[in-house]
Amino acid sequence: MDDLLETPQFNNLTSAIKEPLYRESSYDGFPSTKRRKYDAIIVNKEEVSCVSNKYELVQHQDAFVSVINALNKAGVVMQGRVNDFKTSAWLDMTFENLKIKDPAGGGDISLGYSVRNSYNKETGLNIFPFAVRGICSNGMIFKDTYDLGLEILSVRHMGDVLEKVANRIKDMLQATLKAKGTYLDMFNRATGEVFRFSTQDELIMTIASYGVSEKRVKELMARGSFDLDNVNRYEIYNCLTEYATWAQLSPGLYEDIQGAAEKCLNESYERTIGRITEQAFAIEAK
């Protein structure tokens, strides 16, 4: 992680400033300026958010360094990459000593966290469970964490944000260590659940039904191939996460694709069979 901290990409993460807002008025015919209860968050000379005076601005770099330092104190060896979207930024990290075997073969899956910070109130300082598949470096984010026995760490930009995060990191890390076997069970189940599709269109429409446009599904399927008689859940999931990781999507679209992937991963076998049947009927009705 020290290598990342020394890169220009990390050291040039977008910063913001908080400026007070004033209201022009008059009193007994004389102009006056009154301090408002709100401040403006400015990024690159542009106002991106209006916040209360109690809002605690946390710079992207400070947020990430705080999390890294807390994990370093816990003895975690990690590596990561940053994405700077100006008003928001993400640090995706994996832990070198926390891996599970990839059920599809070809290496390991490294577990870790995705740290998010924003200046436009899109998020607070959030930490989500995250993983990277070693064979292809696909990123996988987990927001529906109930079955994993994990909780998302989310701290609003109020008070001492960095101290609150540092105090809660240890508990989150312990829960992540305990969830190692649960991750493996989840991926093994996905690999073992196999589906049959009558046509390519049936597969396309089934994947699209998780909340992805058919156009996007055709793009992501162009990156690989499926045996329509033998498609397992993990293949569909991996296809979606691969597209989210490497297709250079906007943050919103990235989240949509990852959300569709997670929905597919967590769905019951019976519900997926029903989903495929629904799409087959829809094709016949055209």
Domain assignment of residue 27, given as a range: 14-52
Q: Which one of 172, 190, 208 terminates a domain?
A: 190
Q: Residue with structure tokens 């966290």?
A: 113
**Contact call for residues 249 and 175 (beta carbons, < 8 A):** no
Report residue 234's pLDDT band, with 50, 70 and 90 as the boundaries: very high
Within a 10 A sphere around the Cβ of 34, how many other Cβ atoms?
9
3-class secondary-structure state, position 3: helix
Residues 202, 156 share a domain: no
Q: Is residue 206 part of a domain?
A: yes
**Contact call for residues 14 and 43 (beta carbons, < 8 A):** yes
Averaged confidence pLDDT in the chain: 92
Report residue 149's pLDDT band, with 50, 70 and 90 as the boundaries: confident
* pLDDT of res. 57: 96
Residues 135, 255 share a domain: no
Q: Is residue 218 part of a domain?
A: yes
Residues 178, 72 share a domain: yes
Pairing of strands 78-84, 46-52: unpaired
Contacts of 154 (CB under 8 A, 6+ apart): 123, 124, 125, 126, 127
Residues 139, 99 share a domain: yes
**How large is the C-alpha radius of gyration of the chain?**
22
Nearest to 243 by CA among 224, 227, 265, 228: 224
Name the domain count of the chain. 3
Who wins on pLDDT, 240 or 136?
240
Residues 220, 151 share a domain: no
Report residue 222's pLDDT band, with 50, 70 and 90 as the boundaries: confident
**Contact call for residues 24 and 33 (beta carbons, < 8 A):** yes
Residues 203, 163 share a domain: no
Q: Is residue 6 part of a domain?
A: no
Q: Is residue 97 part of a domain?
A: yes
Q: Is residue 4 part of a domain?
A: no
Residues 142, 64 share a domain: yes
Residues 180, 197 share a domain: no
Nearest to 35 by CA among 46, 26, 24, 27: 24
Q: Is residue 1 part of a domain?
A: no
Q: What is the pLDDT of residues 79-130, one digit of tens each?
A: 999 999 999 999 999 998 899 999 887 789 999 999 999 999 888 999 999 9
| CA atoms within 13 Å, Cβ hemisphere of 83 | 16
* pLDDT of res. 28: 67
Residues 223, 109 share a domain: no
**Contact call for residues 162 and 58 (beta carbons, < 8 A):** yes
Residues 37, 95 share a domain: no
Q: Is residue 33 part of a domain?
A: yes
Residues 202, 184 share a domain: no
* pLDDT of res. 89: 96
Is residue 168 exposed (0-12), middle (13-18) or buried (19+ Cβ within 10 Å)?
A: middle
Q: What is the pLDDT of residues 248-279, one digit of tens each?
A: 899 999 999 999 999 999 999 999 999 999 99
Q: Is residue 5 part of a domain?
A: no
Q: Which one of 190, 207, 235 terminates a domain?
A: 190
Q: Which one of 168, 190, 212 terminates a domain?
A: 190
Q: What is the pLDDT of residues 53-82, one digit of tens each?
A: 899 999 999 999 999 999 999 999 999 999
Residues 79, 180 share a domain: yes
